[in-house]
Structure 1
Amino acid sequence: MRARLLVSALALLVALPGCGGAEADDGRTTVVFWHSLVNSSIPAFEDLVERFEAEHPDIRIDAQYIPSGDALVQKLITSVRSNTAPDVSWIRADYLEDLVRADAIYPMADFINGPDGLPDSTLEDVYPSLLQLASWRGDLYSLPMEATNLGLLYNKDLFREVGLDPERPPQTWDELLEYSRRLTLDEDGDGRNERIGFLAPVYPADSPLGPWMVWQWTPFLWQAGGSLITEDQTRVLFGDEAGVQALTLWKELYEGQNQKTFSNEFMTTFASQQAAMMLDGPWSLPNYPRLLANMDWGVAPLPAGPDGRATIGGGEYLAIFKQSEHPDAAWTFIKWMMEPEVQAQWSRESGYLPIRRSVLDVPSYRAFLEENDGLRAFVEQMSVSGNERIDYQQLEISRLIAQAIERATVGGEDPRAALEAAAAESNRLLDAAERVPDEPVAARR
């Protein structure tokens, strides 16, 4: 529904000049910035804004929180229609196609190649998986604000309880299955487990969490040697053998642990020690000391699949709207956010990962990682993080993959049949898509 809403609403729009920012009463230029940061990260962002304004006394950042998901889509639609778009917005990568088609946002080349631009060395320093998602059809229309990836959160106390080495989390899919079986507990033998080993991240496909489920499933597809889509963006590949292997693994974990009797409030279930392992990202790290205060926990890379290790890299992205009255001031803020020292502070305080490799050369950040094992595990995984962009019908195809995952796990359907049906419908969508000709297609990783 969200995909159809965004496409139909934005397809009619023509970007108009100027109502994003304004001159502040004190003579400063005001940059209106919309974001959907989680509560635990907002204080860290406020610290950054204070630092930016001290270093740029002629610019004020008016940061406005907009709930993510449907609320952000609706707000963007309304603002572009009414010529009240922000100067800068925090967006998800799957909004890019529709924003670009509506001519609502600037190509980043307009700023990167301008008088206050970026050298090639800066973009080369950014993790490639982040630039992949910041682009549409090979051209940058946004830049990353922070990085994330997916790791394995596990309960070391429960590992010890069943005789597993707490410093050796599962290294392979086979070990993930084995550890899950050993950690699952049915104390009274009634067939309803009091504890499961691994919470497979299964959510209702058509809920706002459907894309989040697909995001977490995708690295398992890659670990089996698969891909979401062909490089020329004409056919999906997730229904091939690698996809079947990945979904079969999830089905075995879900059914083998009778997971349907457990809540999908994952952190609550993990914190109450009803689950020994789950997938999570660095954005949760600021909450761990409070939520997991009575637990010895660890973070590890995702277990390797038949084709090796992989995780999914992502983040949120900043786009400059063509309605902005002060695009150059907006660009000043985005460029500043990319500086290594700024990224180091942002990562230390927010729990997000830095977007550039050179942040690891900042002495204070290196020292910080030495004292924070959890964040260090996520940072080290960036070397095997990747992403894959679907340029056409991204939201609809993601919904179809989510439905296939739900049918195979909750519904008990054969993984191959579920994926093949989703792939067939996805290919019909790709055949019908209005394509932009003669533009390069970026490589996956």
Structure 2
Amino acid sequence: LQQFAAFQADHPDLRVEVVLKKPYGPGGLLDYLRTAKPVAPSLLPDLMVLDAAELPTAAREGLVQPLDGLIPSQLLTDLFPFAARLGEVDGVWVGVPYQAELQHLVYDTTKLERPPMSWRDVYSSTTPFLFATGTPRGGLNDVLVNQYLALGGRLVDEEGRPVIDREPLVEALTFFNRGRKLGVIPYRVLNLSNAASVWTRFLAGEAGMAQLPATFFLMERDQLAHVGFAPVPTRNRQIAPLGRGWVLAVVTSDPERQKLAALLLEWLMEPENNGAWSRAAGRLPARRASLEMWDQDDAYVPFIRQHLERAVAAPPPEVEQVLAPPLQTALRNVLRGVSTPEEAAEEAIATVEGRR
């Protein structure tokens, strides 16, 4: 809200009214757009915040407007590559990511002298590795997908259809299977349904390392005296996090109001403004120039810049909905010890091929 007040101070002839909505479900952001447009379009906002995962639905239903000609193209080119892809739907630029999210490792420096960088380091660890086995709103499990992507696995084929590559998936599941057998991945991870529960257990000292969204670390970093950060350990030390985010989208179809909405959008995305907001809020910026506004002497900045540059954009919802359930089942079956990595992978691939 402070940023909107600052915008109004810069533009005293304009007034910004902020309407808060819950993010998802009935009465949430997307639902609000759908229900208000046909019966009370005058109640719709000119500019809206939306989870990038819901942007394709909003765009295909005509609920948000194309941005070509409204927003300078140099803003698009300054976005991290995965973020630029999140803002496009069917080749049309319809959203500007202002906040990014991805996962990395956090570790307790009193339990680990240095963080694990490879699978071998994890296997030889004397402290548990925690992560969430549940997924938000039924989406892809970042923990499994990070390993799969780092091994060269694909989420979509050349035609944009959901796909699972067998060998990378078998290898990724083998990591979790061996970690389970060695005890470094404890059985209790099956009860950790979300990142918040992992964070609570980690802070309580139940494990020396955990994979978590960056936001958890950033929001409490100043109070964390013994928590370090590192890439997620992978077989070949490749960094391939799944990139997500939130976008700003223009809703109004009125040309004059579109110009005003674009003016506010550009102001919010100015590096000084977006950089200051993201740093203060404990969020990752989606724009390179915004990250430049962070403390460049902070070791976390080059670390997270590398992750943001290499992140893979989360696939569109129609792909994620096909891939997520079988991949989730594969991971849980391996962690429960009821399927081998090969069996779990074959079942997941068969399920996806049957739904394509």
Q: 1:222–1:319: structure 2 CA closer, same or farther, 3 Å change rule?
A: same
Matches within 5 A, 1:296-335: 296-306=226-236, 308-322=238-252, 326-335=257-266
Asked whether the equivalents of residues 148 and 172 of structure 2 are also in contact (C-alpha less than 8 Å), the reply is yes
CA distance in 2, matches of 1:376, 1:307: 17
**Distance between the aligned counterparts of 1:51 and 1:344, measured in 2?**
15
Shift in alpha-carbon separation, 1:388–1:269, aligned structure 2, 3 A: closer
Deviations 1:321-340 (A, max 9, x none): 24678322222222222211
Mapped pair 1:223 → 2:160:
no
Shift of the 322–215 alpha-carbon distance from structure 1 to 2, 3 Å rule, reads: farther
User: What is aligned with 1:270?
Assistant: 202
Are the equivalent residues in 1 in contact too, given 2:54–2:317 (CA < 8 A)? no
**Alpha-carbon distance, 1:122 to partner:** 2.9
What is the alpha-carbon distance in structure 1 between the residues aligned to residue 188 and residue 107 of structure 2? Answer: 20
- Which of 101, 106, 113 is the aligned partner of 2:60? 101
Match of 1:61 in 2: 16
Seen in structure 2, the aligned counterparts of structure 1 residues 429 and 278 have a Cα distance that, compared at 3 Å, is same
Contact 1:148 1:281 in 2 (8 A): yes
Q: Which whole-Å deviations, capped at 9, do the CAs of 1:105-147 have from their partners, x for residues lacking one?
A: 11221523xxxxx0x4332221111011111222222110122
- Contact (CA 8 Å) 2:123, 2:184: kept in 1 or not? no
TM-score (structure 1 length as normaliser): 0.69
Output the CA distance in 1 between the equivalents of 2:341 and 2:13.
57
After superposition, the Cα gap between the structure-2 partners of 1:399 and 1:98, relative to the gap in structure 1 and judged at 3 Å, is farther
Give, in whole Å, the separation in 2 of the partners of 1:58 and 1:426.
54
Partner Cα distance (1:156, 1:302) in 2 = 16
The aligned amino acid for 1:270 is F
1:389-428 superposed matches below 5 A: 389-390=315-316, 392-410=318-336, 412-428=338-354
Alignment partner, residue 152 of structure 1: 105
Mean Cα displacement is larger for which, 82-91 or 120-129?
82-91
Cα deviation for residue 221 of structure 1 reads 1.1
3-state SS of 2:242 partner: strand
Greater radius of gyration (CA): 1
Q: Which of 248, 252, 256 is equivalent to 2:174?
A: 248
Tell me by how many angstroms 1:270 deviates: 0.5
Cα distance, 1:369 vs. partner? 4.0
TM-score by length of 2: 0.85
- Which residue of structure 2 aligns with residue 172 of structure 1? 118
CA contact (8 A) 2:131 2:212 kept: no
After superposition, the Cα gap between the structure-2 partners of 1:127 and 1:252, relative to the gap in structure 1 and judged at 3 Å, is same
From the superposition, tell whether residues 399 and 332 of structure 1 become closer, same or farther in structure 2 (CA, over 3 Å).
farther
Question: Which of 87, 90, 95 pairs up with 1:142?
Answer: 95
SS in 2 for 1:319: strand
Distance 1:411 1:322 in 2: 53
Residues of 2 paired with 1:254 and 1:316: CA distance? 34
* CA distances 1:256-284 after superposition (whole Å, capped 9, x unpaired): 34633365211110110001111123322
Asked if the contact 1:200–1:253 (Cα under 8 Å) also holds between the matched residues in 2, the reply is: no
**2:77 matched to 1:124?**
yes
- Structure 1 residue corresponding to 2:219, chosen from 286, 296, 300: 286
1:298 Cα shift? 0.6
* Secondary structure class of the residue paired with 1:105: coil
Match of 1:70 among 11, 25, 30: 25
| Whole-angstrom CA distance in 2 between matches of 1:426 and 1:245 | 18
Q: 2:94, 2:51 → 1: CA distance?
A: 12
Which letter maps to 2:90? R
RMSD across aligned positions (CA): 2.8
The separation in 2 between residues aligned to 1:421 and 1:429, in whole angstroms, is: 13
| Residue identity opposite 2:146 in structure 1 | P
* Structure 1 gap ranges (5+): 1-45, 113-117, 160-164, 184-196, 431-445
Contact 1:92 1:316 in 2 (8 A): yes
Counterpart CA distance in 2 for 1:336 and 1:326 is 15
Structure 1 382/321 Cα, relative in aligned 2: closer, same or farther at 3 Å?
Answer: same
1:21-63 CA-partner distances (Å, limit 9, x unpaired): xxxxxxxxxxxxxxxxxxxxxxxxx222222222222333333
Q: 1:415 to 1:68 in 2, by over 3 A?
A: farther
**Corresponding pairs, count:** 344
Distance 1:104 1:154, change over 3 A: same
Which consecutive unaligned segments of at least 5 residues does structure 2 have?
none
Assess if the C-alpha contact under 8 Å between 1:216 and 1:312 holds in 2. Answer: no
- Deviation per CA, 1:152-189, whole angstroms, max 9, x where unpaired? 11000112xxxxx2xx311112212222xx11xxxxxx
